[in-house]
Amino acid sequence: MSRTPTQDAEASQATQNTQSAQGARSHSMIDSPVGPLALVTDGEALTGVFMAEHRHAATDRRGEAVALGDAAAVVRRAAEQLGEYFVGDRRIFDLPLAPEGTAFQQRVWAALQEIPYGETWSYGQLAAHLGSPGASRAVGLANGRNPISIIVPCHRVIGADGSMTGYGGGVPRKEHLLALERGEQPLFPATGGPVPS
């Protein structure tokens, strides 16, 4: 039995609606003191927070761009909570998260959320916390693949000597986030760019 073009269009729309209801990805952009952030969701949980220049950002997995006002509730809540964080009114995020990664990466990302606001741990401390004291390098690699920046605070991990090691969004952004958490003068103005010299 053949269908009319109208029936084909209705069937296509029904399929798209079903896919959306089952967690099609979308993202919304927000401004922040560290520049634009892409908030990615599967419709139920936050799956990514990516900076404009972000190593390992899965740009092909962000899905459709959606205006913040039309975004999933979790994205609107994330934008609100990030705003509170950047003005110093929030230390802990309360959002459903669903980062995609290996079992080991998931363990590392969960442990990152245990690092207290304003504190830093070395990769070795994080590895020891996970019960794998010899796994500093593997912990560092997993930390670098964290898809939910700021909310899963990979910026709180530093070198054993206290050095600012790499960060997916760049070391200046890592320094800014740590300075913010210590209550120091931020390195970036509200426009998101470097402070002019």
Question: What mean pLDDT is predicted for residues 91-113?
Answer: 95
The larger pLDDT score, comparing residue 196 to residue 9, is at 9
- The tens digit of pLDDT for each residue in 132-164 reads 999 999 999 999 899 999 999 999 999 888 888
DSSP character at residue 140:
H
**pLDDT-derived band at 91, boundaries 50, 70, 90:** very high
Domain boundaries along the sequence of the chain:
7-86, 103-182
- Looking at residue 56, its pLDDT comes to 55
Are 108 and 126 in contact by the 8 Å Cβ rule? The answer is: yes
Residue-averaged pLDDT of the chain: 81
The runs of H, that is alpha helices, within the chain are 5-21, 73-86, 103-112, 123-129, 136-144, 171-182
- Looking at residue 65, its pLDDT comes to 85
The larger pLDDT score, comparing residue 132 to residue 17, is at 132
Give the separation between CA 34 and CA 192, rounded to whole angstroms. 5
Q: Which of 27-31, 91-95, 151-155, 165-169 has the lowest mean pLDDT?
A: 165-169
- Looking at residue 16, its pLDDT comes to 42
Catalytic residues: 154
Question: What mean pLDDT is predicted for residues 169-193?
Answer: 74
pLDDT cut 90: percent of the chain above it: 58
pTM of the entire predicted model: 0.79
Question: Which CATH code for domain 7-86?
Answer: 3.30.160.70
- The tens digit of pLDDT for each residue in 40-51 reads 999 999 999 998
DSSP character at residue 194:
P
**pLDDT-derived band at 73, boundaries 50, 70, 90:** very high
* Tokens representing residue 26 in the block: 């979308």
Could you say which architecture CATH assigns to the domain 103-182? Orthogonal Bundle (1.10)
- Looking at residue 11, its pLDDT comes to 41
Beta strands 157-158 and 46-51, pairing class: unpaired
Stated as kind and residue range, the H or E segment containing 121 is: strand 121-122
* Tokens representing residue 27 in the block: 């993202």
